[in-house]
Amino acid sequence: MYTRHVHINVPFTAIADGTMARLLNRAPYANMCFPRCEAFWFKPTRGHPTTVDAAHWTNNIREFVQCVHRMFPNARMCGISSAVSLAENDHAVFDHIGELFTQLIQLSTSVSYFASSEHLFPARLVHTLGLTSIAYTECASSALFVCLIRANHATLQELHIEATQPNVLAHIVAHPTPISFPYLSVLDAECLDFNPDFVPTYAPTHAPFPRLCSLTLHHPYPFTTRALFAHNKSTLHRVSLHIQSTHDALFYVQSKVVDKHSLPQVTQLDIRVTCNESVWDKYVGRTTVAAFVECAPRVQHLQLNIDCVGLEPSVRGYITHTTMANIRYLKIGHTALSISDVVQVLERVPNVVQLGIDPQTIDPTTHTRIQDTQSLDHLHSLIRTYPHLGKRLNHIVFGLATCADMEGSAHFAIQLAIICRHTTRIRWSTHSSLFVDHCTRLSHASESPYAAYTHRLRTLDWKKNIL
């Protein structure tokens, strides 16, 4: 049996009344075993009411868990999800579902957990030890989950948190009883911050994650970010920050959360700043992104949603030529750029080998289609002005939304391929065949406005792929 991942969606009442255990202990299920299964995801549903007395539920749950362990003896990753909707007086059912979750989790070294009620997270679960990975998605018992995370501090290697309750991450980083997570290398946290100026009473005086290599923060806390940056300058190699407003972005720059070379070992950097269309917001966004790029002089993989590389003259000074020369992989997303804009960006990153263009990057207002002599002359002008553009750029990937203007996107891709004459491969991640059809027609048709470049376009390797 070669199944490596399995999803178990069954009514909880079928487990509680023993139906599932009896079924799995009979042929053909009794002899089934999936030794290569690495992970199982369990999602109980409410099901029909059971007549079995609740006193027997615990034994039936234990037998079901034994059946699961027999069928998947080597599974070490357990995903728990429950959106069970029960009446307020169904505490016994909630408690037994929590007991079921506890027994399943105790078979694992990695746990992903989502629940909709605190009764689904029994207090005894915090004593589950030896976990190497925890992924937490909102439930009512965030305090208990923080206890579980801290209880596994000695073995935890990966931690993923998604919470709407404020300051969850901050209370892990700063706690009246400070502890260290000596083996934690990956931290991914998406926590809504209702109080961006929150500073805990207990500020960390040591590195809570001394081996942290990869950090992803959505809605990042300025306090938490400062603490992690200060203590992990020499360990962080990958940083991804999604800042939700220009107000927060400005805070990062003004409070010196980041300063020059504060991330000296980072080679992969993903910075996204949400801002509106005002000139001021765009300037603040670009300034913030530029500051982050400059604080990581060794960055090789760079992903941006605001162009700070090629456009704004007053911002370009933040980033040294040496930093730009180190970039090998550049991905631009969710910021409208014309062909001329992309050309200016590429001029600033002379050694980039792969360019990724995400959805909404192709500006629909720039009249990308070659419709008249003037637009064709503009293309010729770019080719003459930048004869050696992207001399190491051999791979361009277009990520296109299914609702995009496919014909306009095809013109964009064709023109960029013509200008970047060293590019040999064009990839796209779209489910629409229209983009492919338009690219093929524009590349080969004799009546195409790009007929003069037919030989160049036919040398390209066009394939669908995911960046």
Query: Residue 334 pLDDT more than 80?
Result: no
Residue 393 near residue 421 (C-beta atoms within 8 A) = no
**Which has more confidence, 67 or 225?**
67
Query: Residue 391 pLDDT more than 70?
Result: yes
Residue 367 Rama label (left phi>0; alpha psi -120 to 50; beta): left
Reported as a single tens digit per residue, the pLDDT across 214-252 is 999 887 666 677 777 778 888 999 999 888 777 777 777
Query: Residue 93 pLDDT more than 60?
Result: yes
Helix (H, G, I), strand (E, B) or coil at 79: strand
Residue 207 near residue 180 (C-beta atoms within 8 A) = yes
At 238, list the tokens: 């990958």
Q: What is the pLDDT of residue 364?
A: 54
Gap between the Cα atoms of 87 and 90, Å rounded: 5
Query: Residue 89 pLDDT more than 60?
Result: no
Q: What is the pLDDT of residue 9?
A: 84
Reported as a single tens digit per residue, the pLDDT across 290-316 is 778 888 889 999 888 764 444 454 444
Which segment, 74-88, 318-332, 409-423, is predicted with the most confidence on average? 409-423
Query: Residue 203 pLDDT more than 70?
Result: no
Q: What is the pLDDT of residue 287?
A: 76
Q: What is the pLDDT of residue 202?
A: 54
Please give the helix or strand (H or E) that residue 37 lies within, else none. none
Residue 378 near residue 369 (C-beta atoms within 8 A) = no
For 224, phi then psi, to 5°, come to -65, -45
Which one-letter amino acid corresponds to residue 449? P
Sequence-distant (≥ 6) Cβ neighbours of residue 421 within 8 angstroms? 389, 456
Gap between the Cα atoms of 135 and 102, Å rounded: 15
Q: What is the pLDDT of residue 400?
A: 66
- Lowest mean pLDDT, pick from 79-83, 163-167, 244-248, 323-327: 163-167
Full DSSP string of 316-373: HTTS-HHHHHH--EEEE-SS-B-HHHHHHHHHH-TT--EEEE-TT-B-GGG--S--SH
| Average pLDDT value for residue range 246-259 | 73
For residue 181, what pLDDT band results from cuts at 50, 70 and 90?
very high
Full DSSP string of 133-156: EEEEE--S-HHHHHHHHHHTTTT-
Which one-letter amino acid corresponds to residue 184? L
Reported as a single tens digit per residue, the pLDDT across 430-461 is 656 777 788 888 887 777 888 888 788 877 87
Radius of gyration of the chain (CA): 27
Reported as a single tens digit per residue, the pLDDT across 407-433 is 778 888 888 888 988 888 888 776 567
Q: What is the pLDDT of residue 158?
A: 93
**Which has more confidence, 208 or 94?**
208
Sequence-distant (≥ 6) Cβ neighbours of residue 398 within 8 angstroms? 357, 409, 412, 413, 426, 427, 428, 429, 430, 435
| Average pLDDT value for residue range 388-397 | 88
Query: Residue 353 pLDDT more than 90?
Result: yes
Q: Among positive and negative, which fits the CA dihedral 190, 191, 193, 198?
A: negative
For residue 367, what pLDDT band results from cuts at 50, 70 and 90?
very low
Query: Residue 23 pLDDT more than 90?
Result: yes
Gap between the Cα atoms of 444 and 439, Å rounded: 9
